[in-house]
């Protein structure tokens, strides 16, 4: 169906975007076919009544199996996950739950998600069913199961446990059979894995395993995203073929050079570190240890993001959804944290969450900016997000592949909202 979005102010998602008035966006068969200041005739008109329109957000770091509700994120174990997935009915319930979270991402204004650790082949199944029109949800770049090592991050839950290089290769082949879009590996531990102060990012995966996994993934045509939360971990990751560093840590000159040499990118995820580092312990239920390590990770992530920006290394944004207090409707908060802690520039936050994310994910020809021939993936908001980033909090319209969702309704958890709003 052909229609024109008129009477809007366009923010195109590019690095130098300025509000563009007086233009209409012509959409046909899900794509942007024209951006024009001519009078619209003989096409259905959708009057946006002077609202702002910008590209749909891209969330580069999503885990679908989890709501982000603090009580739901008490640690799952291998046994409980195996049990859930071994019965047809419980597996279907998990699938439905994940599909609903994907839908929530879309309704909140996120038109593309990249999953980085899921259960079995559920992420790619949801992706395929959205593409077939059986489910409502965003574009999904799916990793399905990740690769970890025994005792490593998410081992046995969202990730297989590689014993050595040969078993890493076997698991990459196994994940490949589920038709993912990328491979996720877990190189270091996380805040909740750490047993000692100062070592939230303890290296768990050997250089040999990282190397074998990346080599096999690249042979099969996949990029590799790696969970890394320490300086040594980032170095090992980049030396052995990882394409995107998820989270990050303080970077030295040698690491900056490695990023450039390998054309790697950083995915900044401030959202999961905020509750651990900044919330009152009575709210986050953090121990002294987790709060201390949460701060180490928070500072590492912010510092890595700044260093990469200063050195022209690509920085993407993701939320690490499903971590405690990180819900599927709060991608806009990652942009707010970026402006608060990394760079006080709303334009840049929007650029990184749209076009730069698309470039890192390799989908910039398809989405990420408002340009002719791209998919019509847009959000419409009431106020100018260049002046106030919270304008992104509640889109009045979401358009995905040309399909219009007016006044999307989201059920938000009140006390989580209240706690998070204290951090704006």
- State in angstroms the smallest separation of the CB of 3 from Zn ion: 38
d(CA 99, CA 127): 9
* Torsion (CA) 81, 87, 90, 92 in degrees, nearest 10: 110
Residue numbers of the site for Zn ion (CB under 5 A)? Answer: 320
- State in angstroms the smallest separation of the CB of 118 from Zn ion: 11
- State in angstroms the smallest separation of the CB of 246 from Zn ion: 6
Angle at 399 between CA 103 and CA 373, to 5 degrees: 125
d(CA 353, CA 335): 7
Give the phi and the psi of residue 406 in degrees, each rounded to 5.
Answer: -85, 140
d(CA 76, CA 69): 14
Structure tokens at 274: 């905020």
Give 113: exposed, middle or buried? Use CB within 10 Å, 0-12, 13-18, 19+: buried
**Considering beta carbons, is residue 186 or 251 the nearer one to Zn ion?**
186
**Considering beta carbons, is residue 161 or 320 the nearer one to Zn ion?**
320
**Considering beta carbons, is residue 59 or 124 the nearer one to Zn ion?**
59
d(CA 168, CA 179): 17
Q: Are 286 and 294 in contact (CB under 8 A)?
A: yes
d(CA 275, CA 211): 34
Give 84: exposed, middle or buried? Use CB within 10 Å, 0-12, 13-18, 19+: middle
Residue nearest to Zn ion (CB): 320
- State in angstroms the smallest separation of the CB of 320 from Zn ion: 4
Q: Which residues, 6 or more positions from 74, have their beta carbon under 8 angstroms from its beta carbon?
A: none
Q: Are 410 and 107 in contact (CB under 8 A)?
A: yes
**Considering beta carbons, is residue 51 or 352 the nearer one to Zn ion?**
352
Task: Provide the pairing of β-strand 397-400 with 403-406.
Answer: antiparallel
Helix or strand run (H / E) with residue 316: strand 315-317
**Considering beta carbons, is residue 203 or 398 the nearer one to Zn ion?**
203
Alpha helices in 47-121 (DSSP H): 78-86, 88-107
- Cα distances from 72 to residues 85, 166, 167, 272, 275, in angstroms, run 18, 35, 32, 15, 15
**Considering beta carbons, is residue 320 or 356 the nearer one to Zn ion?**
320
Task: Provide the pairing of β-strand 159-161 with 146-148.
Answer: parallel
Q: Which residues, 6 or more positions from 171, have their beta carbon under 8 angstroms from its beta carbon?
A: 147, 160, 162, 213
**Considering beta carbons, is residue 130 or 158 the nearer one to Zn ion?**
158
Q: Is the dihedral of CA 344, 350, 352, 355 positive or negative?
A: negative
């Amino acid at each position: 169906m052909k229609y024109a979005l008129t009477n809007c102010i366009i923010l195109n998602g590019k690095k130098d975007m300025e509000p563009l008035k007086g233009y209409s966006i012509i959409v046909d068969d899900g794509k942007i076919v024209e951006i024009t200041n001519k009078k619209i005739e003989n096409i259905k008109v959708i009057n946006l009544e002077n609202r702002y329109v910008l590209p749909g957000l891209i969330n580069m770091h999503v885990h679908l199996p989890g709501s982000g509700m603090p009580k739901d994120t008490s640690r799952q174990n291998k046994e409980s996950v195996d049990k859930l997935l071994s019965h047809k009915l419980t597996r279907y319930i998990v699938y439905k739950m994940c599909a609903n979270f994907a839908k929530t991402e879309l309704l909140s204004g996120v038109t593309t998600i990249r999953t980085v650790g899921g259960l079995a082949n559920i992420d790619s199944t949801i992706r395929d069913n959205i593409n077939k029109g059986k489910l409502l949800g965003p574009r999904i770049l799916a990793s399905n199961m990740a690769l970890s090592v025994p005792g490593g991050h998410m081992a046995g839950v969202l990730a297989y446990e590689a014993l050595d290089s040969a078993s890493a290769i076997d698991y990459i082949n196994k994940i490949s059979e589920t038709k993912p879009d990328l491979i996720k590996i877990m190189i270091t531990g996380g805040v909740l894995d750490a047993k000692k102060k100062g070592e939230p990012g303890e290296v768990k995966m050997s250089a040999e395993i990282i190397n074998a996994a990346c080599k096999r993934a690249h042979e099969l045509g996949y990029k590799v995203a790696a969970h890394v939360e320490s300086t040594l971990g980032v170095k090992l990751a980049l030396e052995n073929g990882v394409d995107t560093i998820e989270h990050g840590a303080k970077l030295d000159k040698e690491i900056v050079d490695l990023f450039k040499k390998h054309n790697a990118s950083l995915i900044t995820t401030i959202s999961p570190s905020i509750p651990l580092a900044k919330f009152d312990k009575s709210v986050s239920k953090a121990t002294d240890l987790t709060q201390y390590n949460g701060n180490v990770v928070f500072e590492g992530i912010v510092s890595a993001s700044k260093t990469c920006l200063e050195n022209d290394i690509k920085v993407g944004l993701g939320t690490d959804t499903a971590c405690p207090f990180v819900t599927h409707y709060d991608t806009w908060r990652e942009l707010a944290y970026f402006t608060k802690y990394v760079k006080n520039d709303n334009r840049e936050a929007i650029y990184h969450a749209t076009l730069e994310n698309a470039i890192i994910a390799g989908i910039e020809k398809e989405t990420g900016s408002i340009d002719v021939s791209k998919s019509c993936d847009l959000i419409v908001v009431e106020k100018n997000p260049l002046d106030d980033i919270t304008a992104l909090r509640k889109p009045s319209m979401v358009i995905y592949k040309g399909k219009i969702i007016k006044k999307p309704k989201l059920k938000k958890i009140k006390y989580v909202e209240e706690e998070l709003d204290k951090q704006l």
